[in-house]
């Protein structure tokens, strides 16, 4: 369960509204598991809705960055993170559709999305908001981009970001181990 708090607020109305909607969709998916054995149809529909809404949100956010004339370096990094999320979420969803254990894979997807959203919003989205505010106050896009390093995070936000990145790293490590096991099996079959 991912609860909205002021720590996640970027102070950009559209972005915050859409982030809250993503939290709502993610929590609806998570709630399906708490109510017992969810149907594959409900899980699939909710996952597809969540991925589609994230894709729409990313497009809106990228247009907002272009309209605000953010430094292309930030836009490129931000866009890369969005594309990476959509790729990973769709890849995990496809695995979910072919997996024998719907609940296990869906729970991993909820965990991935929770950690990814937490890290992304508190990190690059807050950086985007700070740059947009600096540009509105007269800074050049380049100056605003360079000043992003001066963002100060309180201990709670830093803790949330670290927990999220560690969770993402552990999930990546698990996937690497599974791929290594499959590769070892394939290599043993060739010999």
What is the total count of domains within the chain? 1
Q: Which helix (H) or strand (E) holds 24?
A: helix 13-34
In angstroms, how far apart are the furthest CA atoms of the chain? 66
Query: Does a structural domain hold residue 136?
Result: yes
Q: By residue range, what is the domain housing residue 149?
A: 6-190
Residues in CB range of 132: below 8 A, 6 or more apart = 12, 64, 65, 68, 70, 144
Residue 99: per-residue pLDDT? 56
Per-residue pLDDT tens over the stretch 98-152: 655 667 777 788 889 999 999 999 999 999 999 999 999 999 999 999 998 888 8
Tokens of 185: 């099996």
Residue 100: per-residue pLDDT? 59
Name residue, tokens 């896009």: 141
Query: Does a structural domain hold residue 121?
Result: yes
CATH for 115: 1.20.120.50
Spatial CA neighbour of 54 closest among 81, 18, 24: 18
Query: Does a structural domain hold residue 1?
Result: no
CB-based burial of residue 46 (10 Å sphere; 0-12 exposed, 13-18 middle, 19+ buried)?
buried
Segment 169-176 shows an average pLDDT of 87
The pLDDT of residue 71 is above 80: yes
Query: Does a structural domain hold residue 13?
Result: yes
Residues in CB range of 172: below 8 A, 6 or more apart = none
Query: Does a structural domain hold residue 16?
Result: yes
Cβ atoms 41, 96 nearer than 8 A: no
The pLDDT of residue 94 is above 60: yes
């Amino acid at each position: 369960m991912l609860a909205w708090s002021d720590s996640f607020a970027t102070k950009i109305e559209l972005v915050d509204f859409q982030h809250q909607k993503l939290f709502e969709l993610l929590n609806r998916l998570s709630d399906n598991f708490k109510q017992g054995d969810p149907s594959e149809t409900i899980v699939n529909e909710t996952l597809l809705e969540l991925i589609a809404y994230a894709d729409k949100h990313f497009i809106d956010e990228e247009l907002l960055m272009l309209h605000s004339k953010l430094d292309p370096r930030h836009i490129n990094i931000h866009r890369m993170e969005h594309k990476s999320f959509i790729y990973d979420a769709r890849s995990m969803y496809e695995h979910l559709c072919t997996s024998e254990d719907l609940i296990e894979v869906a729970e991993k997807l909820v965990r991935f999305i929770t950690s990814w959203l937490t890290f992304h919003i508190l990190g690059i989205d807050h950086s985007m908001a700070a740059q947009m505010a600096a540009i509105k106050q007269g800074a050049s896009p380049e100056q605003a981009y360079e000043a992003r390093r001066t963002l100060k995070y309180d201990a709670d936000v830093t803790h949330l970001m670290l927990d999220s990145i560690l969770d993402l790293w552990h999930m990546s490590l698990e996937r690497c181990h599974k791929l290594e096991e499959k590769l070892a099996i394939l290599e043993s079959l060739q010999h």
